[in-house]
Chains A and B, each alone.
Chain A
Amino acid sequence: AQRVTQPEKLLSVFKGAPVELKCNYSYSGSPELFWYVQYSRQRLQLLLRHISRESIKGFTADLNKGETSFHLKKPFAQEEDSAMYYCALAAQGGSEKLVFGKGTKLTVNP
C-alpha cells in the first residue's frame, strides 16, 4: 500500500530563516512525488514535482530513494510562504490517483 507521512502538523519560522517540510513515503515501486500548496482561501495547486527538478518560488525538493523521503526546502522563508503544504505520491504503472499526506501548516512570522 502507498502511504505518505508528513510528521509535522504545524511549523513556524521567522522571515529569512531556512525552512524544511518533511515528507516520507512508503511504496515498493518507483513513485512520482509532488508538493501541493494551498494558500489561505485559495484552491490546492501544484508547487513542484520531482521529475521536473525545478525550483519554484525558491523551493526545492530532492527525492531520496534510500531514505524514502522528499523533503521540501527553502533557504530564506518569506511571509507569503505561509500556507498548507501537502506532499503527494502517484504510483507508477497506470494508477492515476494521488495519495496525499495530512499536510503541514507553515507559518512565517515577520
Chain B
Amino acid sequence: GAGVSQTPSNKVTEKGKYVELRCDPISGHTALYWYRQSLGQGPEFLIYFQGTGAADDSGLPNDRFFAVRPEGSVSTLKIQRTERGDSAVYLCASSLRGGWSSNEQFFGPGTRLTVL
C-alpha cells in the first residue's frame, strides 16, 4: 500500500510569505507527527496529532507555525510570515496509534522549504 505522502516536494518562497505544507498519512493511522530537519541536524519534533486533536504542540517554535488535521487524516502545516531561518526539510510521520511503546513511525519523503 501507499506510504506517507507529502506535497509539495519542494517549495520556494519569499521572506514574509505564507506557506502550507500537506501530509497524507497511511490509511488507518491515527497518530501523525511533524518534524523539521535543518541542514546537518537530525529531525526536530514540532507537533503530534492523535486523531483530530493536537496532543503535543510543544515543538512549534513560535506562533507563526500552526497545524491542523480537521478530519483525522490529512494534515496541513501552516507557516505565516516566513523567515529565512524557516528553510528546512519538513517531515511528516504517521503511526497506527500513539503511545511511547506503540507502533513504528513511518516517515514521508519530506517537503524542502526554501525561504529567499
- Give A residues with C-beta under 8 Å from B: 4, 6, 32, 43-46, 49, 51, 86, 88, 90-103
Contacts and interface: CB of A to CB of B under 8 A. Distances in A.
Q: 4 smallest A-B Cβ distances: which pairs?
A: A100-B42, A97-B45, A44-B107, A96-B48
Contacts, number: 62
Interface of B: 3-4, 31, 33, 35, 40-45, 48, 50, 55-56, 58-59, 91, 98-101, 104-110
Given A86-B42, A97-B33, A103-B42, A92 B108 contact: no
A42 to B, nearest CB: 8
A20 B38 CA distance: 25
B48 A97 contact: yes
A96 B104 contact: no
